[in-house]
Structures are given as structure tokens and as C-alpha cells.
Amino acid sequence: MRILLTNDDGISAPGLAGLYQAVADLGEVTVVAPATPQSATGRAITLDAPVVCERVAAGAFEGVAVAGSPADAVKIAIHHLMDDPPDLVLAGINAGANVGINVFYSGTVAAAAEGAMFDVASVAFSLAGGGPMDFVRAAGLCRWVLDSLLARGLGPGELINVNIPTMTPSGPKGVKVVPQGTSAISETYYRQDAPDGRIIFRLADYYEHGPQDGQTDVSALEDGFITVTPLHSDLTDRAGAARLRQTPWGVPPR
Ligand code: MN
């Protein structure tokens, strides 16, 4: 099996090294990842600047550091750096959960989504904070989940978001397949008024997900379960489209 391994925390991140160690025996693993941390860059791509790629040795593996976004790394890897397209794209392990509306900002999920857009089965892995960031133990859990996904079979372009709950001595309570939560986040910006009239804002590193509508990835992860959420890139609101089709649009003006 050919695997493309990437992340959004950068090629030197311990979560990437942990995941590499946990999946290295599955086949030929190619590591192509952002050169620097790219968290919360979502699906950004680099349009107006050259993207410099450099072969690097990062401990257990050699890989290519891409001076761009996670999506840049996946595009360049599949278009140019791999002789054949991968059978599987793995992204992570991210330092911090990617659940609820954070899925939209996540570079980790975006990297996997990019793989899915190439029709490659893709899985994003994240480890919730609030406990020890033990990426070796988390990677063992990711591999355990991946083995079940592979045993069931992953179709071309299938996109799966996996989150490991906050590490506790007793470990996760189980696995829940849950929808993505969509409630708003309550967040805080620090404000500073500079003497020259400029206003400086900085997003605080704490936030809370709003109340969940039924069980979601947010609530199941908080309850201590590994969450598995299949995603797709089609954002269409089908009920909304059905309603809009009833609109008497008429003939466009010339
Ligand atoms: Mn990240």
C-alpha cells in the first residue's frame, strides 16, 4: 500500500512522527508536510508565491518539507513528488481536537479533504488537549482505528475524521460514529488600543463549543469516546435547493 502522510503542524511535529511509526509497516510511506506550523489554515492554497520544497530528515523518516499550506503539500505530493498516486492519505496526528465547526478551519482535515478530492481514501487524525500529549500512545489508537477502517474497506475519495479524546490512564471508552457538530463557538479576542490609534486583536487560546443538537463529535469526544465522522466536500443544502427551485426566477435581464 502506498501512503501519503502529512499534517498541518509541520514536518517536525511529534504527532507526525508518532503516526509515521504507527503506520510504517503498512507499506511505502511518503512524508510530505508543511515546513512550518499551518494550523487553522483550512483549505488555503498558495496562489501568488513560489512554493519551495526541501528534502529533510526528521528523525525516523525522510520527507519533503513544503513551504506552503497542508493542501499545497498534498497537491504537490500527488502531482509531482510521488511516482504513483497514493492508495491512502493520512493527516496528523494533530495536536488538538478537530471537531464541531473547527473542522472548517482545520488544516489537518483540509489535507485529508484534499486527498479525497484526488479520489484517494483519506483519514484525518487529531488528539484532544487537556491531558498528556502522548503521541506514541495516541498513534497506537489511531492505528487501531485505521485497521478497522481498512478491514471494512475504504472507498476512493472516502474522507474520515478521527479524534482521540483527552488522554486518561484508563483510555478511551469506545468508538462512536457521530455527525459533525455545527454549533457556534464562544471565543474571546484580547483587545489592545495602541497610542497611534491602531487597534490590535489577538484570539485567546481558549474557547467553548455551544450546546450540541443531539450527539455530535463534540459531545462524544467530551464524553471520552474516539469519534469517527465521515465527511464529504459537497456543502449543498439539498432542502434549501429544493425550496429555491420553487422561486419564480423569470427570465434574466439583458
Ligand atoms: Mn494543527
- pLDDT of 232 reads 94
Going from the Cα of 198 to the center of ligand 1, the distance in angstroms, rounded, reads: 30
- pLDDT of 59 reads 81
Instruction: Read off the pTM.
Output: 0.96
Q: Which of 40, 62, 41, 44 is nearest to 53 (CA)?
A: 62
Going from the Cα of 81 to the center of ligand 1, the distance in angstroms, rounded, reads: 23
- pLDDT of 60 reads 87
| Apex 170 CA angle, 166 and 174, nearest 5 | 70
Can you list the alpha helix ranges (DSSP code H) found in the chain? Answer: 14-23, 70-76, 102-105, 107-117, 135-152, 217-222, 238-245
Going from the Cα of 193 to the center of ligand 1, the distance in angstroms, rounded, reads: 30
Going from the Cα of 185 to the center of ligand 1, the distance in angstroms, rounded, reads: 18
Going from the Cα of 16 to the center of ligand 1, the distance in angstroms, rounded, reads: 11
Going from the Cα of 252 to the center of ligand 1, the distance in angstroms, rounded, reads: 46
Going from the Cα of 15 to the center of ligand 1, the distance in angstroms, rounded, reads: 9
Going from the Cα of 186 to the center of ligand 1, the distance in angstroms, rounded, reads: 20
At 155, list the grid cell: 472507498
- pLDDT of 88 reads 98
Q: Which amino acid is at 5?
A: L
Going from the Cα of 32 to the center of ligand 1, the distance in angstroms, rounded, reads: 15
Per-residue confidence in pLDDT tens, the chain, 254 aa: 999 999 999 999 999 999 999 999 999 999 999 999 999 999 999 999 999 999 999 888 999 999 999 999 999 999 999 999 999 999 999 999 999 999 999 999 999 999 999 999 999 999 999 999 999 999 999 999 999 999 999 999 999 999 999 999 999 999 999 999 999 999 999 999 999 999 999 999 999 999 998 999 999 999 999 999 999 989 999 999 999 999 999 999 99
Between 135-152 and 14-23, two packed helices, what is the crossing angle to 10 degrees?
Answer: 50
Distances in Å between the Cα of 81 and the Cα atoms of 44, 55, 65, 140 are 20, 11, 11, 28
Sequence-distant (≥ 6) Cβ neighbours of residue 155 within 8 angstroms: 121
